[in-house]
């Protein structure tokens, strides 16, 4: 028995001894080991630290899930194809249309006109294809015998469609607002800078949504679609 153990036992058995008395033992209490408790988490402070744009995106993606759940798998598959077509079309018309706008919209900086043309084609193509889908493609279950599976899969595909639209918006706005030395101008189209500064606020941390898109999703998308994407657009991600 080690000395420390003997000392501990002696302390536990210590009592008054008489001539014919027995040792009166007192219970030995175990010492509590220190707990490794971290600092308390301030939930309110954590919520305030979240960029409001991230919370809005969660709500928007949830709305797309509900939409996909209602409309089913087939419509969401066609919708995803329509978004991809609209973006690829807009990306390839970005420079030709931008050159036309630069020559006629002299009130805007040249690169700003290119961004406006890029976004205009994407929105117009997306709206047109969406109207066609909603008009000529009624809800048809892809799995008629398993309605719940069709609805859940449609909801997940709806989230994918919403994420694609969000990624397209970020790419389009980044083609102008990430260019260094572009101050705010009085003749800018309303709303565009506000959307950009919602996920990339000046003097504040970038939203986690924008970080994920810029560092992972957009480079991966451009790597897959590289052969059909114009070089001028891929140049915004030179290190990818």
Per-residue pLDDT of the chain (240 residues; tens, 9 = 90+): 455 544 544 454 444 444 444 444 555 555 555 555 555 656 666 566 678 899 999 999 999 999 999 998 999 999 999 999 999 999 999 988 988 988 888 888 888 999 999 999 999 999 999 999 988 888 888 778 888 999 999 999 999 999 999 999 999 999 999 888 778 888 888 899 999 999 999 888 889 999 999 999 998 999 898 889 988 887 777 654
Task: Give residue 110's domain range.
Answer: 50-233
> Per the structure, how many domains does the chain have?
1
In a domain, 176, yes or no: yes
Task: Report the predicted TM-score, pTM, of the whole model to 2 decimal places.
Answer: 0.77
* Contact indicator for 196, 208 with CB cutoff of 8 Å: no
* Chain-centre distance for alpha carbon 233: 21
* Contact indicator for 117, 97 with CB cutoff of 8 Å: yes
Q: Give dist(CA 36, CA 33) in Å, integer.
A: 9
Tokens of 4: 């420390």
In a domain, 17, yes or no: no
In a domain, 219, yes or no: yes
In a domain, 16, yes or no: no
In a domain, 87, yes or no: yes
In a domain, 144, yes or no: yes
In a domain, 89, yes or no: yes
Q: How many CB atoms lie within 10 A of CB 154?
A: 25
In a domain, 124, yes or no: yes
Q: Give dist(CA 175, CA 111) in Å, integer.
A: 8
Q: Give dist(CA 69, CA 154) in Å, integer.
A: 5
């Amino acid at each position: 028995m080690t000395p420390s153990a003997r000392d501990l036992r002696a302390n536990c058995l210590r009592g008054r001894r008489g001539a014919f008395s027995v040792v009166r033992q007192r219970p030995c209490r175990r010492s509590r080991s220190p707990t490794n408790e971290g600092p308390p988490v301030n939930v309110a402070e954590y919520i305030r630290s979240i960029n409001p744009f991230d919370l809005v995106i969660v709500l928007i993606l949830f709305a797309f899930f509900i939409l996909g759940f209602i409309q089913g798998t087939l419509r969401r598959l066609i919708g995803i194809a329509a978004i991809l077509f609209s973006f690829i079309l807009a990306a390839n018309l970005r420079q030709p249309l931008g050159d036309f706008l630069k020559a006629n919209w002299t009130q805007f900086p040249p690169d700003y006109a290119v961004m406006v043309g890029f976004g205009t084609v994407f929105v117009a193509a997306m709206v047109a294809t969406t109207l066609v889908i909603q008009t000529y493609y009624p809800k048809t279950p892809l799995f008629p015998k398993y309605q719940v599976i069709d609805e859940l899969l449609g909801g997940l595909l709806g989230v994918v469609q919403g994420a694609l639209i969000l990624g397209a918006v970020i790419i389009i706005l980044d083609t102008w607002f990430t260019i260094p030395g572009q101050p705010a101008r009085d003749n800018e189209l309303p709303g565009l800078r506000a959307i950009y500064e919602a996920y990339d606020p000046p003097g504040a941390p970038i939203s986690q949504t924008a970080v994920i898109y810029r560092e992972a999703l957009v480079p991966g998308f451009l790597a897959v679609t590289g052969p059909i994407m114009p070089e001028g657009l891929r140049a915004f991600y030179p290190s990818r």
